[in-house]
A and B are shown apart, each in its own frame.
Chain A
Amino acid sequence: MKNSLHKNPWRHARERLIEAVLFLAAFSAVLITVAIVAILFYESLTFFKHVSIVEFLTSTVWTPLFEDAHYGVLPLVAGTLVTSAVALLVAIPIGTIIAIYLSEFAPHKVREIVKPFLELLAGVPTVVYGYFALLIVTPMLQMVMPGLNGFNMLGPGIVIGIMIVPYVSSVSEDAMRAVPMSLREGSYAMGATRFQTALKVVTPSAISGIAAAYILGMSRAIGETMVVAIAAGQQPTFTWDPRDSAATITAYIVQVALGDLPHGSIGYQSIFAAGLVLFLMTLAFNVLGQMIRARYREHY
């Protein structure tokens, strides 16, 4: 009886054990990142024993699977940047307008109904969007631009743009909603209309959050795979013209993975080198976007 208030050692040990297990689960996030970086660097290192980094970064011919092999990653990077730029040209205006509308104009009811639809749009698998780009958007573009190649970067770029609209609009809307009501009320009190308030008060106050949305959207577009693998073509051509067909970094990885390359061959390692470039590009955009986003949160 006199011991009943003492610490129960078994109960204490069980608590510590559970905490340790939960910690390990959380720590797995760090382990996954470490594993990704380690695998990409490890396999790329073997690749760079055969290929000079200078050639990799400056040559404009990428033919690692040919007899006469060249290892210039620029054509893939160009393809990736062109499709992503087209995507942003679509996603930025539409996404921003939707964000302003949802945050400043839409009645509560409209928002409740339409937002789930936007979320569904983001839930459609990318392989279906690829079908859409190849068999619907490109033929429609060919009606306007006769002579357009069946595989081109414009169609997939537009489709990726539609895909990332929900993402851009929801991050921008969050930023606009974080703008304090008093700023809007001040503007209304001066006689400004809703549109003037949205454009000249809310948007400038939320600008860093909106910029973060664009940057994070860019990172999404760069990493998008199936749409470009299906509809942009598989030829690594060094071109900045979105009407041309060209392979992106992601499309190249898919193309090699579909083939039957032996483990350890230079072709096998080339996808890790390409993947490393892709990883570093998206990482740079993500870190930049998150930094900008963290800054605007501190302001109010």
Chain B
Amino acid sequence: MSEPQKVKQIRALIRRLKFNDYIFSLVGLVCMMLGVITLLGLFINLLMDGLERLNYDFFTSFPSRRAAQAGILSAWVGSVLVMLVTALIAIPLGVAAAIYMEEYAPKNLLTTIIEINISNLAGVPSIIYGLLALGLFVYQLDLGQSILSAGLTLALLILPIIIVATRESLRTIPREIREAAYALGATRWQVVSDHVIPYSKGGILTGVIIGLARAIGETAPIITIGALTFIAFLPPAPFSGDPPAGMFDWMFAPFTVLPIQMFNWVSRPEEAFLINAAAAGVVIIVMTLAMNAVAIYLRYRIRKNIKW
């Protein structure tokens, strides 16, 4: 075989292999676009189906047997109240746990056990948390099928998310900062509360928002504790009504939340309720996507701004 022919063959081989590179780049792009397109398609489809119901009345009406008059008032109020309870429990507990694991925990068997538990809890299906809540909160502790039970359940569910995010954010703070504070005679807690927490606030906030966004869309554990699907009243506001409701009576009221309301409408055979379901879906998706987007943006800004 003559030399030029060999060179030609090698050139052809290189061309072919480079072409494979090119093809794979395209395939990769298409696969990623598949995700983005699914997201967009899903949202546009929901929006088109539900648009006609998305008006002021939809947000201020109770669910009804007549699809055209049904609204999500009790559902969004329920969601907001449940989130309030969840945030009040999950944020302090999760942040405290993360601080212990990063700043205090000695390297021993107990720490390892806690570590393993946190990562396993993150993998437990949400409906199992529902069963825990049904057995423990609803019946053993006798909290009933209330806002408090639901808030507690979702708090446990998002605890691992908040712990992991907080730990990651604490880990980015360089050791020198801590050592400088110790050198000035600060105690461990002073180092944590005056330096570590303030500097990692942004990262903690990101984790909290992602956790709450997850909680607001969760349906299965709340169905399991027996939230009702048809609620045509609001929980009592503190000190209102006759006789006046107590400060925390709303926590023990029956309730429904947005995803359950949507689930209820999806599972009805009548076409008209599917429109309501789509409209409720738009509300849920806008809420969770907005929360996630804020979190992603925050993280992006933190990464850009802070250079230790």
Residues from chain A with Cβ under 8 Å of B46 in the complex: 128, 131
Judged by a CB distance under 8 angstroms, whether B77 is at the interface is no
Q: Which of B179-238 contact A (CB under 8 A)?
A: 187-189, 210, 213-214, 216-220, 223-226, 229
Task: For the complex, give the distance between the alpha carbons of A87 and B160 in Å.
Answer: 25
Query: In this complex, which of B25, B125, B262, B274 has the most chain A Cβ atoms within 10 angstroms of its Cβ?
Result: B125
Contact mask B110-151 → A, CB, 8 Å, 1/0?
000110011111011111111110111001000000000000
> Which residues from A are CB-within-8-Å of B293?
116, 120
CA distance A225 to B224 in the complex (A): 11
Residue pair A15, B188 in contact (C-beta under 8 Å) = yes
Q: Say yes or no: A29 contacts B118, CB within 8 Å.
A: yes
Asked whether, in the complex, the Cβ of A124 is within 8 Å of the Cβ of B288, the reply is: yes
In the complex, chain B residues whose CB is within 8 Å of the CB of A136: 42, 45
- The proximity string for B residues 41-73 relative to A, scoring 1 for CB distances below 8 Å and 0 otherwise, is 010011000000000000000000000000000
Q: CB-CB < 8 A to A106: which residues of B?
A: 28
Question: In the complex the two chains form, is B117's CB within 8 Å of A30's CB?
Answer: yes
Q: How far is the CB of A189 from chain B (nearest CB, A)?
A: 15
Inter-subunit contact A32/B121 (CB<8 Å):
yes
The count of residues in chain A whose C-beta lies closer than 8 Å to any C-beta of chain B is 83
Q: In the complex, A181→B300 CA distance in Å?
A: 25
Question: Chain B: interface residue count, which band?
Answer: 35 or more
Please name the residue on chain A nearest to B291 by beta carbon: A123
Known: A100-B28, A117-B36, A222-B125. A43 touches B117 (CB 8 A): no
The reply to whether B213 and A123 form a contact with Cβ atoms under 8 Å apart is yes
Question: Which residues of A106-137 are within 8 A (CB) of B?
Answer: 106, 110, 114, 116-121, 123-128, 130-132, 134-136
Does A230 have its Cβ within 8 Å of any Cβ on chain B?
yes
Q: Are B259 and A125 in contact (CB under 8 A)?
A: yes
Taking the nearest CB of chain A, how far is it from the CB of B298, in angstroms?
A: 12
Hey, which chain B residues are within 8 Å of A101, CB to CB? Answer: 24-25, 27-29, 31-32
Q: Which of B35, B119, B266, B284 contacts A165 (CB 8 A)?
A: B35
Contact A39–B123 (Cβ < 8 Å): no
Give Cα A136–Cα B296 distance, bound, in whole angstroms.
29
Q: Is the CB of B187 within 8 A of A11?
A: yes
Docked-complex contact B266 and A119, CB < 8 angstroms:
no
Instruction: Let me know if B101 is at the binding interface, CB within 8 A.
Output: yes
Contact flags (1/0) for A228-245 with B, using CB distance below 8 Å? 011000000000000000
Closest partner residue, chain A, to B116 (CB atom)? A290
- Assess whether A127 is in contact with B262, with CB atoms less than 8 Å apart: yes
* CB-based contact B28/A97 at 8 Å: yes
Query: CA–CA, A124 to B213, complex, Å?
Result: 9
Q: Is the CB of A226 within 8 A of B219?
A: yes
Interface-facing stretch out of A70-78, A202-210, A271-279: A271-279
* A264: nearest chain-B partner, CB-CB: B139
Interface stretch, picked from B14-22, B169-177, B241-249, is: B14-22
Min CB–CB distance A129 → chain B (angstroms): 8
Closest to B122 in A: A286
Q: Does A182 contact B (CB under 8 A)?
A: no
Contact B123 A286 (CB under 8 A): yes
The listed residue (A27, A120, A195, A282) touching B292 by CB distance below 8 A is A120
Q: Are A125 and B285 in contact (CB under 8 A)?
A: yes
Task: Kindly state whether residue B93 has any CB partner on chain A within 8 Å.
Answer: yes
With CB as the reference atom, state the residue of chain B lying closest to A14.
B189
Q: Are B93 and A28 in contact (CB under 8 A)?
A: yes
Q: How far is the CA of A163 from the CA of B292 in the complex (A)?
A: 16
In the complex, what residues of A have CB within 8 A of residue B27's CB?
Answer: 97, 101
| Cβ-based interface call for A86 (8 A) | no
A272 near B21 (CB under 8 angstroms)? no
A25 lies within 8 A of chain B by Cβ: yes
Which of B17, B21, B31, B92 gathers most chain A CB within 10 Å? B31
8 contacts between A and B (CB under 8 A): A11-B187, A15-B189, A29-B118, A35-B136, A124-B217, A222-B125, A223-B125, A253-B130
